[in-house]
Amino acid sequence: MCGIVAYVGGRRAFPILIKGLQRLEYRGYDSAGVGLINDKKIITYKQAGKVSDLLEFIGDSDTSGSIGIGHTRWATHGPPSQINSHPHSSSNSQFSLIHNGIIENYSSLKKVLEEKGHVFKSDTDSEVLMHLIEDVYNNGNDLVDDPKWDDDDDNTLFKAIRVALNEVVGAYAIVVLEEGNPNEFYAARKGSPLVIGIGNSEYFVASDASPIIEYTDKVIYLEDGEVAKLNKNQDVVIKTILNEDKSPYIQKLEQSLESIEKGGFDHFMLKEIFEQPKSITDTMRGRINPKTNDIILGGIKEFESQIVAAERIIIIACGTSWHAGLIGEYIIEDLARINVEVEYASEFRYKNPILTNKDIVIAISQSGETADTLSALEIAQEKGALTLGICNVVGSSITRVTSGGVYTHAGPEIGVASTKAFTAQVTVLSLIALRFCQLKKTVPRGNYNFLIKELIEIPKKIEKLLSLNKDIMKIAMVFKDASNFLYLGRGFNFPVALEGALKLKEISYIHAEGYPAAEMKHGPIALIDEEMPIVVIATRKENYEKIISNIQEVKARGGKLIAIVTEGDIEVKSIADYCIEIPKCFRELTPLINIIPLQLLSYHIALMRNCDVDQPRNLAKSVTVE
């Protein structure tokens, strides 16, 4: 989704903005722009395409100035074009705005503004917000009824932004520049993330910490409904849109610069796939007592008795996180014997769900900013359920609105296709299942200890599996031109089949379907012919004999079989066209390792098809719109 970066201070703003926009490229976008105050006037450059297209467009033009705003736009209202790109100017070019989010009531606001004589150049909701702020600035509260307007003596643009935002329905993170004011700008947020970095007489603003990290580790996460005035010669001033003063809460950023760089790999996705032994270790770190094998999950400890007594757990999530949730359903039900339902957040929010205060709702999200998941949580809270989160991004919105939760600690995930965040989510869900089977005594102690031992061994097994990268590349070469793929799995590995298919379609644009293997004969079998590659997860113990029957059905129709098997397997090997051998592992934990070759297969196929692996077309890393 859209990316925001802004700078005010003593340095040249332009290189900071461009580098920041490049760091935000992973979020997904289709146009880019910058606005600078140069000799007191605002200069704007914007262009459809990538940041590199913007740079080419700017060429040798003047980019001086030590204050500026930059934006990458992921098109919502209107196609990717120069005119729809940000920044957007006010009618008289006195102000310039960048915006991430969606102004849901933009068309009614636009109508009122048009009646007042405003003329719009773009199709965007963001330009409407710019004009609304301008109108309030020029005409006071004739559009907006704010009793505090007249007796407030702070800067007029600061006030106009606050008052205008009271009229807005929807989500926003904005930064606004004012002509003739090269020392300060304003930033505000509701529903879309925004971080302020504090340097030495300088401020940075960005959608996430990645553009800020190399300049400062002092940050403020702006809260919903807050507006900040950032003047390089003054301390931060924060007010709510209702004009209440807020004390800035300055935090230390825990990320490192290396964590957001490629570290010798060709792509972030490959780096993140290879990081999984470490990221899973980080997810487990400090959470398993080495002497007693007890699991400690500090963020949900105070709710343990409520979870034990719960009638059910409802997991809400989207995309890959939803697949992790499905694995959670299998493992929590199997080990802890708690009823689990897994819902697409986007469906849950509109289906009038039946919930009581005995239900536990767990939101799973890498970014912690997914709009559908956040809205579903709101509904769960309204209905009295306890809400918890499993998130990767520290300080993200979901972590702030839930009562408790467990961080995945996978480190920043930059590749749009989720890999290490998925295995970290599954690790957390396994820890939760193990913790509650221990509390509920649903698994004998001996078996529990074996499971813990196995979980601790997983990173080593993944390490071993990653050494098969070249073999997987060879399989990718054979199937890179396929038009369709079918992924089959059963039990714990049915969601792995779904996730394998999602990875392939996201980054290689090959149509792929995941299915529970036994369901194949109820429809998808009609698709199978000699052109159809079928990836089957056929590791031992997971309905192995049944899977072999499903494999025979595929072979009988000429399908090409790529099988994921347990090392030493003979039976499947004798039938399948290609096999990838997985280290032996307990059934409950196989998803953590079975997904690795599927991630690699997708990566290599996408690369061989010349696809942009890290920034696939049309996709955004953090989906902050409905």
Stretch binding ligand F6R (CB under 6 A), from 78-86, 87-95, 191-199, 317-325: 317-325
Stretch binding ligand F6R (CB under 6 A), from 262-270, 327-335, 360-368, 600-608: 360-368
Stretch binding ligand F6R (CB under 6 A), from 22-30, 364-372, 469-477, 553-561: 364-372
Taking CB atoms, the residue at the shortest distance from ligand F6R is: 319
Contact positions with ligand F6R (CB under 6 A) in 549-588: none
3-state secondary structure 543-590: CHHHHHHHHHHHHHCCCEEEEEEECCCCHHHHHCCEEEEECCCCHHHH
Question: What is the smallest separation between the CB atom of 121 and ligand F6R, expressed in angstroms?
Answer: 32
C-alpha to C-alpha distances, 446 to 287, 288, 327, 439, 451, nearest whole angstrom: 19, 16, 23, 15, 9
> Is the peptide bond preceding residue 533 cis, with omega within 30 degrees of 0?
no
Contact positions with ligand F6R (CB under 6 A) in 231-250: none
| Distance separating alpha carbons of residues 379 and 401, to the nearest angstrom | 12
Q: Which of 66, 293, 367, 397 binds ligand F6R (CB under 6 A)?
A: 367
Question: What is the smallest separation between the CB atom of 502 and ligand F6R, expressed in angstroms?
Answer: 6
| Distance separating alpha carbons of residues 226 and 114, to the nearest angstrom | 28
If binding means CB under 6 A, how many residues of this protein chain bind ligand F6R? 15
Determine, following the binding rule CB under 6 A, whether residue 370 of this chain makes contact with ligand F6R: yes
Q: Which of 255, 366, 543, 566 binds ligand F6R (CB under 6 A)?
A: 366
- 148 three-state secondary structure: coil
Which string of DSSP letters, residue by residue, matches 211-277?
TTTTT-SEEEEPPTTEEEEEETTS--EEEETT--EE----EE----SGGGS-TT-SSHHHHHHHTHH
Determine, following the binding rule CB under 6 A, whether residue 623 of this chain makes contact with ligand F6R: yes
Determine, following the binding rule CB under 6 A, whether residue 418 of this chain makes contact with ligand F6R: yes
Does 50 participate in catalysis according to the annotation? no
Our CB check for ligand F6R shows the closer of 96 and 425 to be: 425
Tokens of 484: 């369709």
Selection from 542, 550, 238, 279 nearest residue 421 by Cα: 279
Our CB check for ligand F6R shows the closer of 1 and 130 to be: 1
Question: What is the smallest separation between the CB atom of 346 and ligand F6R, expressed in angstroms?
Answer: 10
Contact positions with ligand F6R (CB under 6 A) in 320-339: 320-321
Our CB check for ligand F6R shows the closer of 122 and 624 to be: 624
Does 621 participate in catalysis according to the annotation? yes
Determine, following the binding rule CB under 6 A, whether residue 599 of this chain makes contact with ligand F6R: no
- 339 three-state secondary structure: coil
Contact 605, 501 (CB under 8 A): no
Our CB check for ligand F6R shows the closer of 8 and 377 to be: 377
- 321 three-state secondary structure: helix
Determine, following the binding rule CB under 6 A, whether residue 506 of this chain makes contact with ligand F6R: yes
| Distance separating alpha carbons of residues 575 and 345, to the nearest angstrom | 40
Our CB check for ligand F6R shows the closer of 365 and 566 to be: 365
Our CB check for ligand F6R shows the closer of 255 and 367 to be: 367
Identify residue 577 by its one-letter amino acid code.
D
Our CB check for ligand F6R shows the closer of 128 and 362 to be: 362
Determine, following the binding rule CB under 6 A, whether residue 512 of this chain makes contact with ligand F6R: no
Catalytic residue among 2, 391, 437, 611: 2
Tokens of 228: 């900040």
Tokens of 315: 């997991």
| Residues with catalytic roles | 2, 621
What is the binding site for ligand F6R (CB under 6 A)?
318-321, 365-367, 370, 373, 417-418, 502, 506, 622-623
